[in-house]
Amino acid sequence: MTNGTEKSFLGAGFRHSTYGPAYEPGVQYWNNVGLHMAKLFPGAAPETVWIVGQLAGKGARLSYPGSSENPLIQFTSEDLNEAALTQFDESGVRAWLQVEPGDAPVDHLIHLILERYSHHPCVIGAGVDVEWFHSYTGAEGVPVSDAEAAAWLAVVRSYNPHYRLFLKHWETGKMPPTLREGLFFIDDSQMFQSLEHMAAEFARWGQTFAPAPVGFQFGYPRDQKWWGAYDDPASEIGKAILEKVPNTAGLYWVDFTVLEVFKP
């Protein structure tokens, strides 16, 4: 498996954070969820949005030991990612590394996480949750300019020319107005009335950025009132999205409910 050059356009798997699930089920569990999700969609590769930088105060805390002169960048005492990424290397689960920046400099955060983890073949790029870009009291975020996105992408590709950068929000207006090459746009909307409502909104997201690749996070607790009635909600939601959004490149079940849907 070669770093960042996998042939499958579609990735299917899960979003992972340290704060999403009720407890940490372990590396093998996450690996299995990725493999299971990919099997639901013919031709898909197993994939994860793996959060390595969580909002902390007005900045970010990276989930491994390290140091920075910037007081907005903190670290944890233990590496919470290495074991999982090593497992993903072996099993073929592709990994996006995400940060929630707050006011911490995004280019520096990307440098730090890729300096630490770009040696892993599973890594295919980095991402920014724009909800927390210059925002730390609520998930709103400041719109990303073309120049900012281009600068971040340049940092990402300084580690591997095949890497891409994802940007995540639920509002199209928070995304760069014209830059598309090298970018992957993830929608994490929730609070839908039905699957049809979700698919229609996701279709608008896909159309806005086409032909650039787009991805979707789903399975939020606030939507469980309708998806909870499905026998296989991950499959049914994913297939509805693929039918409506031809440029879909990522389908991710969120970790807030993953333990309920994918039993350990």
Cα dihedral value 104, 143, 169, 102, nearest 10: 20
Rg (CA), the chain: 17
Tokens of 54: 């969580």
Q: What angle do CA 15, 155, 188 make, to 5 degrees?
A: 25
pLDDT tops 70 at residue 3: no
43-64 mean pLDDT:
98
Identify the CATH number of the domain in which residue 61 sits: 3.20.20
pLDDT tops 70 at residue 165: yes
Q: Helix %, strand %, coil % for the chain, to 5?
A: 35, 25, 40
Q: Can you give the pLDDT at residue 7?
A: 62
Q: What is the DSSP letter of 177?
A: S
Residue 24 lies in a domain: yes
Which three-class secondary structure state does DSSP give residue 1? coil
Q: Can you give the pLDDT at residue 8?
A: 77
Task: Quickly state the pLDDT bin for 6 (edges 50, 70, 90).
Answer: very low
Residue 5 lies in a domain: no
pLDDT tops 80 at residue 75: yes
pLDDT tops 90 at residue 2: no
Query: What residues make up the domain containing 124?
Result: 11-261
pLDDT tops 60 at residue 90: yes
Domain count, the chain: 1
Q: Are the CB atoms for 68 and 108 separated by under 8 Å?
A: yes
Which three-class secondary structure state does DSSP give residue 114? helix
E-state strands within 35-93? 45-56, 59-62, 73-75
Write the single-letter amino acid at 232: D
Q: In this predicted model, what pLDDT tens digit does every residue of 167-184 receive, in sequence order?
A: 999 999 999 999 999 999
Which residues have a Cβ under 8 Å from the Cβ of 63 and sit 6 or more positions away? Answer: 18, 51, 52, 53, 54, 75, 76, 79, 80, 81
Q: Can you give the pLDDT at residue 246?
A: 97
147-156 mean pLDDT:
98
Task: Quickly state the pLDDT bin for 1 (edges 50, 70, 90).
Answer: very low
Q: Are strands 45-56 and 11-16 parallel, antiparallel or unpaired?
A: parallel
Mean pLDDT of the chain: 96
Q: Can you give the pLDDT at residue 66?
A: 97
